[in-house]
Structure 1
Amino acid sequence: MDPLGARSQFVEVQNLPTWDQPQGVQDEVDGENLLMEEDDQLTNQLNSLESPFPFRQDINSKIVLFNGDVALLNCTAIVSTSNETLTDKNPVSDSIHRYSGPELRDELLKLKGCRTGEAKMTEGFNLAARFIIHTVGPKYKAKYRTAAESSLYSCYRNVMQLAKEHAMASVGFCVVSTVKRAYPLEDATHIALRTVRRFLENHGENIEVVVFAVSDVEEPVYRKLMPLYYPRSKKEERIGLPLLPADIGNAEGEPVVPERQIRIAEKPGNLEDDSGDDSLESDLGLVGSHAFARMEGDVDKQRKLILQGQMSEAAQQKQHQRNYNRWLCRARTEDLSDIAALKALYQTGVDLCGRTVMVVVGRNIPVTLIDMEKALLYFIHVMDHITVKEYVMVYFHTLTGEHNHLDTDFLKKLYDIVDAKFKKNLRAFYFVHPTFRSKVSTWFFVTFSVSGLKEKVHHIENLQQLFTCILPEQIDIPPFVLEYDTRVNSPYYTAQSSGL
């Protein structure tokens, strides 16, 4: 506690100037502006183009660039960068440990480490910040640049996701890519700025302030690049347009890997030209353009409506999208903490193809005791940003009782509500430790209730089978599942589980 009358060493973020406040355009930007005004042809060309990062005063008003110690910020949460064992010694983590007190070190031991790209949270203890979000930046090697970019994106994205899930008003970022990890500062800054920008655009309605805390070395780079992603005027937006890098990421800011965009036809010899907007139609052409292939319901009813002029296919798609958006808005505003506490749905690592793995634990879903509509909202809330790219689901049916069996009507409702990306980007559904009853129920469900899912469902009898698709270190398996598998199957898994 500060002595009576002494000024607090902590910094109130509300008193810091936000990025939208007029501070004068820097000399170098003025120079570029004058140069551009001399070239009328170039100026006219840029005026006709739309920037992927347009001037948004509402977003700029949430951004603060702060030259100072992130540990001193009075935010809801501050970010600490460390290594996989959360024991790294660097200027940021050392300062946070110094101000938070010895309790933090004890708390970190309970987390049992953190994988690269992930984010985990602890209390702030003696800090002004209520929480500390710990993340692990990648080690940079030019040979593995793509992997490093994706991991660094995940650091910033997962921090922002945690902030959103816990309804945090303000977040203070350190520079995640430390000197120890050899990540080029300018490259890392591009990823940091655009990831936060995209998150605020898509999901940041309740986040009030994001602070980038930088050092004297880092500040010039941030000041140089921030106008590209957070232009403070239409003129600054036009100036920054030709300076943006070729890879500005996808709609969420995630790095785009060209190799992963190559689509392989399911039948050899079917060569097709990827035509952007027609890609969905081309894909469906391989299996047919009828409603069954499109995973639509009640074909006769839809055709009748179309013939009567009541509802076109485009109108149906828009209606479905509006319905999903309503569910998504509810999911983002309702308190779902009681469902989250069940730990029945969570993100873990990636499978052998690099696709995100989502885990569902059947035994943790007390179907007869919880509000299943809230469970549906929670599923949409967690999965919406996961499903923008390919992913797989692992469902542990292990020791699931009568009160945990999900009703097929609920599953059908969920399948009908979710966005098309949920279905298109789901590459596999691994059903672990199925019973005879569950196999029969699943067969009826994927055969008669929904379409397009049957070939994606794989029944997994033991963990050894699962590990042929997902490495043990890439999936967090509940202890009771490991114990059950060891007891029922071979003791071989004891050795496997020790590495989890």
Structure 2
Amino acid sequence: MVEEQPPIDEIKLIHKLGIFKIKGRDKQGRKILRIIGKHFPAAAKGSLSLDLLKSYLEVKIFPKLERAFVVVYVHTDVHNLPGISLLRSLYDAIPVNVKQYLEAVYFVHPDLQSRLFLATFGRFIFTGGLYAKVKYVSRLAYLWEHVKRNEIEIPEFVYEHDEDLEYRPMMDYGLESDHARVYGEPAVDSVSSVATYSMRCIS
């Protein structure tokens, strides 16, 4: 049975949005699937249907993930949670023979809302062991500990946001509104797993 190809115009739109991209390898030699959460609202508002995104993944992405791979999910400038709910729906659509190769999900620029949401519901939403593979990456500097900079394309708005966070650590946790930059000491943080964050919430 031949898989139905997504319409050419819609394929071009997904490429233009740059939601998904496979390029490069991390420092352990695993393929990288980069996902830009900021562009998910285009799907949520009807520009792209969830079924179309799933079809695109089935045809263009999943066949290229036949070995160990990691996901770099960029949450920068996502101000609500449709990105996470869509991630869950897309994760459910991943074939079992592909899921077995997913070894880590780097969650770049998590905000307070996403941290609390995942700490509360993560184990129920991301089943099958995925929850334990999710790691928060609060700064790009910590992503480079796992991925070489020249191995992945990061949009300019992500670098700009990262610079703001360096000088406004309270903004990182939703404790400061996005007004004129206030310079101070750079925030100190590291890659931390969702599980670790959950334990902090409980203690």
TM-score, structure 1 as length reference: 0.30
What do residues 46-87 of structure 1 show as CA deviations (whole Å, max 9, x unaligned)? Answer: xxxxxxxxxxxxxxxxxxxxxxxxxxxxxxxxxxxxxxxxxx
Alpha-carbon separation, structure 2, partners of 1:380 and 1:444: 30
Structure 1 unaligned blocks of 5 or more:
1-324, 493-500
1:444 deviates by: 4.4
Q: Indicate whether 1:376 and 2:43 are aligned.
A: no
Secondary structure of 1:485's aligned partner: helix
1:333 deviates by: 4.8
Find 1:341's aligned residue among 4, 7, 16: 16
Find 1:350's aligned residue among 5, 25, 34: 25
1:451 deviates by: 2.3
Alpha-carbon separation, structure 1, partners of 2:89 and 2:18: 22
Q: Indicate whether 1:438 and 2:76 are aligned.
A: no
- Asked if the contact 2:6/2:56 (under 8 Å) is kept, the reply is no
Alpha-carbon separation, structure 1, partners of 2:62 and 2:95: 8
- RMSD over aligned CA atoms reads 2.4
What do residues 292-328 of structure 1 show as CA deviations (whole Å, max 9, x unaligned)? Answer: xxxxxxxxxxxxxxxxxxxxxxxxxxxxxxxxx88xx
Q: Indicate whether 1:390 and 2:65 are aligned.
A: no
Alpha-carbon separation, structure 1, partners of 2:161 and 2:121: 27
Percent of residue pairs identical: 25
- Asked if the contact 2:26/2:148 (under 8 Å) is kept, the reply is yes
Alpha-carbon separation, structure 2, partners of 1:454 and 1:407: 13
Which structure 2 residues correspond to residues 124-203 of structure 1 after superposition, within 5 A? none
Secondary structure of 1:388's aligned partner: coil
Alpha-carbon separation, structure 1, partners of 2:160 and 2:140: 11
Alpha-carbon separation, structure 2, partners of 1:463 and 1:407: 20
Find 1:419's aligned residue among 91, 95, 107: 95
- Asked if the contact 1:394/1:429 (under 8 Å) is kept, the reply is yes
Change (3 A) 1:436 1:356: same
Alpha-carbon separation, structure 2, partners of 1:460 and 1:486: 14
- Asked if the contact 2:36/2:75 (under 8 Å) is kept, the reply is yes
Please identify the structure whose Cα radius of gyration is greater.
1
1:339 deviates by: 2.1
- Asked if the contact 1:387/1:421 (under 8 Å) is kept, the reply is no
Q: Which position in structure 1 is the counterpart of 2:145? A: 468
Q: Aligned AA for 1:420? A: V
Secondary structure of 1:384's aligned partner: helix
1:452 deviates by: 1.1
Q: Which position in structure 1 is the counterpart of 2:129? A: 452
Alpha-carbon separation, structure 1, partners of 2:154 and 2:6: 30
Alpha-carbon separation, structure 1, partners of 2:90 and 2:160: 31
Alpha-carbon separation, structure 1, partners of 2:78 and 2:14: 18
TM-score, structure 2 as length reference: 0.71
Q: Aligned AA for 1:480? A: F
1:434 deviates by: 0.2
1:381 deviates by: 2.4
Structure 2 unaligned blocks of 5 or more:
168-184, 187-203
Alpha-carbon separation, structure 1, partners of 2:70 and 2:150: 16
Change (3 A) 1:376 1:441: farther
Secondary structure of 1:375's aligned partner: helix
Q: Which position in structure 1 is the counterpart of 2:166? A: 489
